[in-house]
A and B are shown apart, each in its own frame.
Chain A
Amino acid sequence: MALDLPFLADTFLALLTGIPLALQLAATSIIAGGILAFGLALMRVSGRWWLDGPAQIYIFIFRGTPLLVQIYIIYYGLSQFEMLRHSFAWPFLREAYWCAVIALALNTAAYSAEIIRGGLISVPAGQVEAARACGMSNTTLFRRIVLPLALRQMLPAYSNEIILMTKSTALASTITLMEITGIAAKLISASYRPVEVFICAGAIYLTINFIVARLFAGLEYVSTPERRTPSAMGCASETRKECHV
Chain B
Amino acid sequence: MGFSPEGWGYDMLAATGMTVSVAISGFLAGGILGCLGAAATFSRFAALRFVAASYTTVLRGIPDLLVIYLFYFGSSSVISTVAAMFGAQGFVGAPAFLTGTLAIGVVSGAYQTQVLRGAVLALSKGEIEAGRAYGMPPFLLFRRIILPQAARFAIPGIGNVWQLVLKESALISVIGLVELMRQAQIGAGSTRQPFSFYLTAAALYLTITFVSGRGFRIAEQRAMRGVRKAV
Residue in A60, A63, A193, A198 whose beta carbon sits within 8 Å of that of B69 in the complex: A198
Residue in B66, B167, B194, B198 whose beta carbon sits within 8 Å of that of A202 in the complex: B66
Given A167-B63, A209-B61, are A192 and B77 neighbors across the interface (CB < 8 Å)? Answer: yes
CA gap between A163 and B166 in the complex, in Å: 20
Residue in B61, B80, B195 whose beta carbon sits within 8 Å of that of A80 in the complex: B195
Q: Is the CB of B188 within 8 A of A76?
A: yes
Given A66-B205, A170-B65, are A73 and B199 neighbors across the interface (CB < 8 Å)? Answer: yes
CA gap between A70 and B203 in the complex, in Å: 11
Q: Is the CB of A69 within 8 A of B69?
A: no
Residue in A65, A202, A209 whose beta carbon sits within 8 Å of that of B206 in the complex: A65
Q: Is the CB of A195 within 8 A of B195?
A: no
- Please, how many residues of chain B have a CB less than 8 angstroms from a CB on the other chain? 44
Q: Is the CB of B66 within 8 A of A181?
A: yes
Q: Is the CB of A77 within 8 A of B63?
A: no
CB distance from B162 to the nearest CB of A (A): 12
Contacts of B213 in A (CB 8 A): 64
- Please, how many residues of chain A have a CB less than 8 angstroms from a CB on the other chain? 42
Q: Is the CB of A65 within 8 A of B65?
A: no
Closest to B189 in A: A76
Among the 9-residue stretches B10-18, B121-129, B169-177, the one with 4 or more Cβ atoms under 8 Å from chain A is: B169-177
| Interface residue ranges of B175-206 to A (CB < 8 Å) | 181, 184-185, 188, 192-199, 201-202, 205-206
Q: Is the CB of A163 within 8 A of B61?
A: yes
Given A170-B66, A195-B74, A202-B66, are A210 and B210 neighbors across the interface (CB < 8 Å)? Answer: no
B227 interface hit (Cβ, 8 Å)? no
Given A167-B64, A173-B65, are A81 and B195 neighbors across the interface (CB < 8 Å)? Answer: yes
Closest to B173 in A: A68
Q: Is the CB of A202 within 8 A of B195?
A: no
Contacts of A76 in B (CB 8 A): 188, 194-195, 198
Given A67-B167, A206-B58, are A77 and B70 neighbors across the interface (CB < 8 Å)? Answer: no
CB distance from B90 to the nearest CB of A (A): 10
Q: Is the CB of B202 within 8 A of A73?
A: yes
Residue in A174, A181, A194, A206 whose beta carbon sits within 8 Å of that of B77 in the complex: A194
| A-B interface pairs (CB < 8 A), number | 127
A72 interface hit (Cβ, 8 Å)? yes
Contacts of B205 in A (CB 8 A): 64-66, 69
Contacts of A206 in B (CB 8 A): 57-58, 61-62
Q: Is the CB of A73 within 8 A of B195?
A: yes
Given A64-B210, A184-B66, A194-B69, are A69 and B181 neighbors across the interface (CB < 8 Å)? Answer: yes
Given A68-B173, A174-B174, A209-B61, are A185 and B69 neighbors across the interface (CB < 8 Å)? Answer: yes
Contacts of A167 in B (CB 8 A): 61-64
CA gap between A73 and B174 in the complex, in Å: 16
Q: Chain A 64-95, CB within 8 Å of chain B: the 1/0 string?
A: 11111110110011111100000000000000
Q: Is the CB of B198 within 8 A of A170?
A: no
CA gap between A220 and B181 in the complex, in Å: 39
A/B interface sample: 11 pairs, CB < 8 A: A61-B202, A69-B181, A72-B194, A72-B198, A73-B194, A77-B195, A80-B192, A167-B62, A167-B63, A192-B73, A193-B77
Chain A interface residues (CB < 8 Å from chain B): 60-61, 63-70, 72-73, 76-81, 163, 167-171, 173-174, 181, 184-185, 188-189, 192-195, 198, 201-202, 205-206, 209-210
Chain B interface residues (CB < 8 Å from chain A): 57-58, 61-66, 69-70, 72-74, 77, 80, 91, 163, 166-171, 173-174, 181, 184-185, 188, 192-199, 201-202, 205-206, 209-210, 213
With A65-B205, A189-B73 given, name 9 new contacts (CB 8 A). Answer: A66-B168, A69-B201, A72-B185, A73-B199, A79-B195, A170-B65, A171-B171, A181-B65, A202-B62
